[in-house]
Structure 1
Amino acid sequence: MPRVVSSAAASNSSLHREPEFSPRFVETRSRSQPFWRRPSDRLLPRIVSSPTTETRADLSGLETQVKKLVEDLNSDSIDTQREATGQLRLLAKHNMDNRIVISNCGAITLLVNLLRSTDLKIQENAVTALLNLSINDNNKTAIANAEAIEPLIYVLETGSHEAKENSAATLFSLSVTGAVKHLVELMDPAAGMVDKAVAVLANLATIPEGRNAIGQQGGIPVLVEVVELGSARGKENAAAALLQLCTNSNRFCNNVLQEGAVPPLVALSQNGTPRAKEKAQSLLSHFRNQRHGNPGRN
């Protein structure tokens, strides 16, 4: 699975385009270039409303339109599903009223189901619609409650380049509502998702909110276990996550040490992939500095 890098969420005030994220999220993206803006978008109708002028009739018309699109998500026709997901993606892009109506009409669960579509365009539209919907805090909870985490990780592995970027952005957007808790649960080997879950945790660990969630949701013991028993890629990403936790928090560093991380890190520093060796050696060096009176951050 390609490496995903993390980002901070964009301002909710963006009105005419899908939300933008910091260039930390995609290394090759320029600061001014949005992820999802395409020339074809300019050919599609836009629904942009102002809270001061919106009438009940306008909202009623929007609700009727969205209900029809939600019905189309259940269609047996690939073309109909592709058109419906594309229109919902566009509507969710523009303003908060649209996002609320789409959620209230029951679109979220159906969009989550379509993350596993074999049609890459449907999958891409569905994940981008969910990303746009997640700007609304209530929708974040609804998306997480729709058990979206595992399907989003599935998109990270199978989707188009754009779908993978937007899946990672959605996971980031959901990280403050328990995404991390679900990722920790998916690190049970029986779930068959360890490497994918660890990869996302490694990226979430690069931001303060992600590190705090990992520490609070029981992520440290399982990360140490992956360093010891995981695959080569899993060990690499687990070490990267632990390095972020330890270098940014003295408390988390102590927790990592209490979990017995030193022996598996020593082994990894000798036998891991080049990147894993680098992360393990950096961690061990940090532990030595801690012992010699350089406590770092709390």
Structure 2
Amino acid sequence: MPPPTGEPKRRRLLSLPAVYPCECIAPARLLASLLSLAADLTSRGAGAAGAFPVLRRGVRQAVRIAGLLLAFLEEIQDATVTLQALPASAVLGLTELHVAMQKIRFLLNDCARRGARLWVLVNAGLVASELRVVLGSVAVALDALPKGVVDASVEAGELARLLSEQAWRVPVRPDAGDERAARSVRSILEQFKSGVSPEAEDARRVLEHIGVRTWSECSEEIACLDDELYTRMDGASDDTSSDAVLVNSLMAFLVYCRVVLFDQIDTNPKADAAVRPARCPDWIRPDALQCPITLDLMTDPVTVSTGQTYDRASIMRWIKAGCRTCPVTGERLRTADVVSNAALRGIIERMLLSNGVSLPDASGSGHRHGALGNTPAPFGPAAAGAARLSVAYIVAQLSTGSTEERRKATSEARKLSKHSVFYRACLVEANAVPWLLCLLSSTDASVQDNAVASLLNLSKHPRGRAVLFEAGGVGLVVDVINVGGRAEARQNAAAVLFYLSSDPEHAEEIGRIPEAIPTLVQLVRDGAHRGRKNAMVSLYGLLQCASNHGKAVAAGAVAALAALLSVDRDNDLAVDAVALLARLAEHPVGAQAVLVRPGLVSRVVEALAASASRSGKDHCVALLVSLCRHGGEKVVALLGRMPGLMASLYTLVADGSPQACKRARALLNMIHRHYEMGDQPAAPASSEAGERVVRVL
């Protein structure tokens, strides 16, 4: 997950970006920093057996040497009273020690990091080699210290000789257990390449070795590797491509283990205990983690000049639409600049990682998985084989499993279908869609939720949409919108119809289902924020078929949309409502329904004048043009008498988007033509005092 522009990128696992102290740093200050660093490394040795499941002996040896270095440095610090001050010549040796200790800290952090254990295991040889080199540099750094510093006291001299000897001679190599587990991983990946399911016990022994014993711990490993993959793919070059293949293969291996080896989804009490203060502090309400604009969990929280926090993508869309006010307070934004809210982002990140979910891209690009998430092929045959075997197991559980097995299988299908295009293709090819459709009628609310969400993800795949239609699943999806057990299921079911309606033939077929359009209209009328938005975009897709306009009008779509428009003209739901009314008005039946709705036309004119949204203004003028086209001179005359409309249209001609400018010019000319050709005066009688009316060419 790349950080916002201007912030340092996340460090790759097992990389050692040590920072050299400034050359002009005071020796005493450098010594104090080095003491703190050595003390931190030494403290990690206490009770560290479980924290370092890989390279246990090597880690213990590194911590022991850090302890010897700490004792040596403390002797030097005590001796500085006699020496008065450290000589400037000591800076070189202390600097090299400082750099070496930084590198050891990086290595120990990665070896102890929850989620990185499989990656450390397969790179155990590399880690051991790095440790040997860094410990050797400790001995070299000691040789660079002035003799007067090393022999500042008898104890210091003895510790320096012991430390140098230990640093040179200490054998750091992977444990025998590490080597066996790494060989097992490589063997399993080879079996995946051949499409062969490995022995469950072999995979279980690998997980046991690295301390992964639950579903949530396995998910944590996947999420960590997912972040590592993105870090490597962000600006990837040829030298990182092989590592990306390995990371992706290990992720697929862990997915297979999570699907096959664990019977239930746990909550990982240890992880929950570790993140509880960050997940829900007393001073943070749960809704504080939601973006006020989309009501979804913020993935990249930023703060605007009024002090309010929003998701970066949402607030930037708001600002780019021409809105210069804070959506929550209504205050005018002094600047369009936003500041990352690192504290809140950290809370959200820890909350997600504790549940095995990686935090999406913070760059605002929306492509969290880079090339991986948007291409149908994975990196490497081992990942492909593991993915197909995992999906086959899931489909078997969907078809013949118990209630608990189906609950877990639908959850896995939901996660994997969201992960990448390749997993979607595998699920479609494995015939998962018909079984997921069968589970839409499940009385288990979680099964139904996961089945609908899985179908939503699979409906983004062309073949997935075709299979869903061939299986007769549209009616079942509509039923969920009507009687779904939870609001989330109803909202996702409405979104499924949006993807299905992308094909005009499918849109016509959906419209033939008697309950489809009335159900969406009902969701627009009574649903929650997200449900209403999903229902409106689905209706928008269905209205590309001319025969559906009359059905939408008959179902009361105009009244439902008018109600949204009257609540708040600057609300994003109101903008969507105007867009949908403009789509309805493209056909005579829709235009007539808008015209006969009391007060609706005047509200659209008011919205055109008052809306801060650029897209909202565009939709308003498109709606008015369609009304004139289908309503004739009576509508043109009505608009000509409405106060403020002419000024709004002239403003759009001057400052609007090219499309809005073209439509505003056309509407102005229709109004002028009406008054010039009739018995009316050249300017509308209700024109505001002093308003000039100019024919726009």
Q: One-letter code of the match for 1:181?
A: E
Q: One-letter code of the match for 2:444?
A: D
Structure 2 distance, partners of 1:40, 1:127, is 24
The superposition leaves residues 169-210 of structure 1 with CA deviations (integer Å, 9 ceiling, x where unpaired) of 323233313553344223x3xx5x663143468857855x95
Give secondary structure in 2 for the equivalent of 1:86. helix
User: 1:102, CA displacement in angstroms?
Assistant: 0.8
The superposition leaves residues 144-167 of structure 1 with CA deviations (integer Å, 9 ceiling, x where unpaired) of 333333322333332323323322
User: 1:280, CA displacement in angstroms?
Assistant: 8.3
Match of 1:171 in 2: 497
Match of 1:196 among 519, 524, 546: 519
Q: One-letter code of the match for 2:559?
A: E
User: 1:72, CA displacement in angstroms?
Assistant: 1.2
RMSD: 4.4
Q: One-letter code of the match for 1:220?
A: H
Match of 2:551 in 1: 222
Match of 2:412 among 87, 91, 95: 87
Structure 1 distance, partners of 2:535, 2:449, is 26
Structure 2 distance, partners of 1:69, 1:42, is 19
User: 1:38, CA displacement in angstroms?
Assistant: 5.3
What is the TM-score with the length of structure 1 in the denominator? 0.63
Q: Is the 8 A contact 2:553 2:589 kept in 1?
A: no
Distance 1:215 1:64, change over 3 A: closer
Q: Is the 8 A contact 1:220 1:256 kept in 2?
A: yes
User: 1:100, CA displacement in angstroms?
Assistant: 0.8
Distance 1:255 1:66, change over 3 A: same
Q: One-letter code of the match for 1:123?
A: Q
Match of 2:464 in 1: 139
The superposition leaves residues 65-123 of structure 1 with CA deviations (integer Å, 9 ceiling, x where unpaired) of 22221121122511011111111112212112111111100001111121111101111
Match of 2:436 in 1: 111
Match of 2:636 among 257, 277, 291: 291
Q: Is the 8 A contact 1:176 1:210 kept in 2?
A: no
Match of 2:476 among 151, 173, 180: 151
Q: Work out whether 1:42 is the aligned partner of 2:371.
A: no
Q: One-letter code of the match for 1:158?
A: G
Q: Is the 8 A contact 2:507 2:541 kept in 1?
A: no
Structure 2 distance, partners of 1:200, 1:67, is 36
Q: Is the 8 A contact 2:378 2:384 kept in 1?
A: no
Q: One-letter code of the match for 1:251?
A: E
Give secondary structure in 2 for the equivalent of 1:142. helix
Structure 2 distance, partners of 1:239, 1:284, is 13
Give secondary structure in 2 for the equivalent of 1:144. helix
Structure 2 distance, partners of 1:94, 1:281, is 46
What is the TM-score with the length of structure 2 in the denominator? 0.30
Structure 2 distance, partners of 1:250, 1:280, is 12
Give secondary structure in 2 for the equivalent of 1:159. coil
Match of 1:247 in 2: 582
Match of 1:236 in 2: 559
Structure 2 distance, partners of 1:184, 1:40, is 43
Distance 1:284 1:169, change over 3 A: same
Give secondary structure in 2 for the equivalent of 1:251. coil
Q: Is the 8 A contact 1:99 1:136 kept in 2?
A: yes
Q: Higher relative contact order at CA 8 Å, sep ≥6: structure 1 or structure 2?
A: 1
Distance 1:215 1:238, change over 3 A: farther
Instruction: Report the structure number with the largest CA radius of gyration.
Output: 2
Structure 2 distance, partners of 1:111, 1:177, is 22
Q: Work out whether 1:67 is the aligned partner of 2:392.
A: yes
Alignment of 1:176-187 (within 5 A): 176-177=502-503, 180-186=507-513
Distance 1:262 1:169, change over 3 A: closer
Count of matched residue pairs: 248
User: 1:262, CA displacement in angstroms?
Assistant: 7.1
Distance 1:30 1:119, change over 3 A: closer
Q: One-letter code of the match for 2:296?
A: R
Structure 2 distance, partners of 1:222, 1:211, is 13
Q: Is the 8 A contact 1:134 1:173 kept in 2?
A: yes
Give secondary structure in 2 for the equivalent of 1:29. coil
Percent of matched pairs sharing the same residue: 21
Q: Is the 8 A contact 1:214 1:220 kept in 2?
A: yes
User: 1:284, CA displacement in angstroms?
Assistant: 11
Structure 2 distance, partners of 1:154, 1:212, is 19
Q: Work out whether 1:161 is the aligned partner of 2:506.
A: no
